[in-house]
Amino acid sequence: MNPVVLDATSLRKTFGDHLAVDGISLRVEECERVGLLGPNGAGKTTTLLMLLGAILADSGTINIDGFTLPKQRSKAMERVGFVAGYLPLPQHLTVREALEFFAGLYGIRSPGPDIDAALERFRIPHLALKRCETLSSGQRTLVGICKAILHRPKLVVLDEPTASLDPDVALRVRTGLRELSEQEGMALLVTSHDMLEVERLCERVVFIANGRVVAEGQPHEVIEQYGVADLESVFLALAGIHISEEER
């Protein structure tokens, strides 16, 4: 068994009269690639925000690489990288200048080799001198991943990492992320509505609905549990959407 990077237990969160998360537990080991899945309103975003220390859980515990939230949030977040397509980049800086800026925030004194390695891993060294404002959405996603891994985090949290990407760019994202996991030992926690991408990238999935974990295991195990053909059918079942035999 690999060391545990993320250990969240019995998380609960309410907003007024609305119970958003009802006792969710989540465990991710070093090198593991885990999908956190579920329909809109299931509690995914609230769970992610608690794991990132952006909001406080009403009850439950969160431990990241030996550091407990919220008391040790700064130390815990030093072990985490966060990727989301909606996170902005400094528009008037080049990609290299932007990555140097973020490396400085991470406390990396000589970031050149780390920046070069990240750009090479995701096959975008040719973007180093391009201004961020000129990048396509796919290029922004790739640069955002490079930014998130500069400090060699133990856990990389990815919110819809391949959303709206062309197939070739999505493949580059998957390949680079798999290499990070296998070669660098980074754990990945991925949220996505693209179940095919999840099947390709994640070795374990956790489905949540109505604020609770309702299925967990390797993708084929969850598919067998629901007696359907694929993860998309599991997702649709949890969303309460019936699909006919013709649509299958």
Q: What is the pLDDT of residues 75-134, one digit of tens each?
A: 999 999 999 888 889 999 999 999 999 999 999 989 999 999 999 999 999 999 999 999
- Mean pLDDT to the nearest integer, 160-174: 86
d(CA 83, CA 142): 9
Alpha-carbon torsion 150, 169, 141, 96, what sign? positive
Please tell me whether residues 74 and 186 are part of one structural domain: yes
d(CA 14, CA 9): 16
Evaluate whether 20 touches 50 at the Cβ level (below 8 Å): no
Please tell me whether residues 222 and 136 are part of one structural domain: no
pLDDT range class, residue 22, cuts 50, 70, 90: very high
pLDDT of residue 82: 95
Q: Is the pLDDT confidence value at 246 over 50?
A: no
- CATH code, 178: 3.40.50.300
d(CA 90, CA 101): 9
What amino acid occupies position 205? V
Please tell me whether residues 64 and 115 are part of one structural domain: no
Please tell me whether residues 165 and 246 are part of one structural domain: yes
Q: Is the pLDDT confidence value at 238 over 90?
A: no
Largest CA distance in the chain: 59
More confident residue, 54 or 247: 54
Please tell me whether residues 110 and 202 are part of one structural domain: no
pLDDT of residue 150: 95
In a domain, 84, yes or no: no
The domain boundary residue, chosen from 133, 152, 171: 152
- Lowest-pLDDT range of 113-117, 141-145, 168-172: 168-172
* Tokens encoding 212: 């609770």
Please tell me whether residues 168 and 217 are part of one structural domain: yes
Omega cis (within 30) before 70: yes
pTM above 0.85, yes or no: yes
Phi, psi of 228 (to 5 degrees): -125, -175
The domain boundary residue, chosen from 110, 132, 152: 152
Please tell me whether residues 108 and 230 are part of one structural domain: no
pLDDT of residue 39: 87
Q: What angle do CA 214, 79, 63 make, to 5 degrees?
A: 45
pLDDT of residue 166: 86
Please tell me whether residues 228 and 205 are part of one structural domain: yes
What region, left, alpha or beta, does residue 213 occupy, with left being phi > 0 and alpha being psi -120 to 50 degrees?
beta
In a domain, 138, yes or no: yes
Please tell me whether residues 113 and 183 are part of one structural domain: no
In a domain, 122, yes or no: yes
pLDDT of residue 65: 96
Q: Is the pLDDT confidence value at 245 over 70?
A: no
Which residues constitute the domain of residue 131?
91-152
pLDDT of residue 241: 54
In a domain, 85, yes or no: no
**List of residues 6+ apart from 245 with CB closer than 8 A:** none
pLDDT of residue 87: 86
Please tell me whether residues 53 and 157 are part of one structural domain: yes
The DSSP-derived string for 167-230 is HHHHHHHHHHHHHHHHHH--EEEEE-S-HHHHHHH-SEEEEEETTEEEEEE-HHHHHHHHTSSS
Please tell me whether residues 139 and 159 are part of one structural domain: no
Number of domains in the chain: 2
Go through 15-44 and write b for each residue having 16 or more CB atoms within 10 A of its CB, e for each that does not: eeeebbbbebebbbebbbbbbbbbbeebbb
Please tell me whether residues 147 and 172 are part of one structural domain: no
**CA 105 distance to own-chain centroid:** 21
User: How far are the Cα atoms of 69, 96, 109 from residue 113, in angstroms, in the given order?
Assistant: 32, 11, 11
| Spatial CA neighbour of 130 closest among 89, 93, 87, 90 | 93
The domain boundary residue, chosen from 152, 168, 188: 152
Tens digits of residue pLDDT in 206-220:
999 999 999 999 999
Tens digits of residue pLDDT in 54-71:
999 999 999 999 999 999
In a domain, 199, yes or no: yes
In a domain, 173, yes or no: yes
In a domain, 176, yes or no: yes
